[in-house]
Amino acid sequence: MTKMIMVSVKPYDQKYFEQANQKFNLSIDYSPIHLTEETAHLFQGYSAICIFVNDIANEKVLNILKNNGIKLIALRCAGFNNIDLECAKKLGITVCRVPEYSPQAVAEHTVGLILTLSRKYHKAYNRVKEDNFALDGLLGFNLYQKTVGIIGTGKIGLATIKILIGFGCKVVCYDPSPNPVVNEIGAEYLPLDQVFQQADILSLHCPLTPQTHQLINTESIQKMKKGVCLINTSRGGLIDTQAIIAALKQKHVGYLGLDVYEQEADLFFEDLSDQIIEDDIFQRLLTFPNVLVTGHQGFFTQEALQCIAETSLTNIQKFEAQQAIPAEFICS
Ligand code: NAD
């Protein structure tokens, strides 16, 4: 019988996996420890490991896991930039993921970031708590008739476009693999530079790959409108953070909403409120009044957690029964 260890577990993960496992009855152990080069040796006696976005599965880790008997890595997320797939393939380790759990969860969070920045809800909330009902400093802007640029029109990009079309926005998109539905619902594809040039709001929904690493850099920012609102709910590595800080200081970037950050593995998903944060770049970001950061919570809805647990366990059950895991769930 497949014995699985699930790492980087929070109480909410365990709750949803235990609920879903009532149907599957798989043997699962839960560990709060992250998978790293230092911890990989701890996970012995298992044939499957379930990991999350900031667990590290590089060549060294994969070799340790292989020696420990791991045959399956089940990612309980969509992105798989944290795993050396070529090495996993060489070692004969199958890697599967949950490609779609709730694109709407991330799309709605994206629009939440845009609205919070455009209407300053975070500031209004604090003011009213202190009986300050003055409106000075809360002046916002309409989304209606603004041009929104969407980079990456896959599941989350498309769900975001649908919401923004409802707001009356003009939506311009870039994706090397265009989807005809995008045109059907009233958005249009343009070359990447034109999307940069036309967007009042620019939202990133492409995966992190060598081609998209630091897609947002000094050069691309120069092509954007002065005062652009930039949103990243995809992966931190899409943005050169030093370049964005310089652009915020120059007021070229007018608003920045982030749910992801390149060095988030040292910060996100943990309560660090009693600790000294050593990441000066991240701390600098937080000093800007027009920057809003959430800690990778785009996916974090009840519906998404339920779907993640059910899909992960279905993949593992298929693997255990030596049935083929459908191609869309396999990372390659
Ligand atoms: P998807 O695979 O459905 O869509 C990605 C799209 O990006 C595809 O259409 C692809 O053609 C396009 N693309 C690839 N290279 C590109 C490039 N160079 N420029 C522009 N587009 C490019 O993925 P998805 O489910 O929509 O997820 C998008 C990203 O969102 C994931 O890669 C993941 O990193 C991130 N994500 C974040 C959260 C969160 O909680 N914040 C949750 C889930 C996913």
ipTM: 0.99
Cβ contacts of residue 173 below 8 Å, gap of 6+?
A: 149, 150, 151, 153, 157, 161, 182, 187, 188, 189, 190, 195
Same-domain check for residues 224 and 161: yes
251 & 262 share domain? yes
Q: What is the CATH number of the domain that holds 150?
A: 3.40.50.720
Same domain for 168 and 310, yes or no, is no
Whether residue 179 is found in the same domain as residue 246:
yes
Q: Ligand 1 centroid to 156 CA: how many Å?
A: 7
* Same-domain status, 172 and 92: no
Q: Residues near 287 by Cβ (< 8 Å), separated by ≥ 6?
A: none
Q: Are residues 51 and 114 in the same domain?
A: no
Which residue's CA lies nearest to atom 42 of ligand 1? 299
| Predicted confidence pLDDT, tens digits, the chain (332 residues) | 779 999 999 999 999 999 999 999 999 999 999 999 999 999 999 999 999 988 999 999 999 999 999 999 999 998 898 999 999 999 999 999 999 899 999 999 999 999 999 999 999 999 999 999 999 999 999 999 999 999 999 999 999 999 999 999 999 999 999 999 999 999 999 999 999 999 999 999 999 999 999 999 999 999 999 999 999 999 999 999 999 999 999 999 999 999 999 999 889 999 999 999 999 999 999 999 999 999 999 999 999 999 999 999 999 999 989 898 988 899 87
Q: Are residues 11 and 153 in the same domain?
A: no
Q: How many domains does the chain have?
A: 2
Whether 210 and 243 share a structural domain = yes
At 75, phi and psi to the nearest 5? -80, 130
Q: What ligand 1 atom has the least distance to the C-alpha of 300?
A: 40
Same domain membership, residue 200 and residue 78 = no
- CB 152 near ligand 1, within 6 Å: yes
Contact 73/57 with Cβ under 8 angstroms?
A: yes
236 and 207 within one domain = yes
Q: What local confidence, expressed as pLDDT, does residue 115 receive?
A: 98
Parent domain of 185: 103-293
Residues 287 and 317 in one domain: no
Taking each continuous run of H as one helix and of E as one strand, the counts in the chain are 12, 12
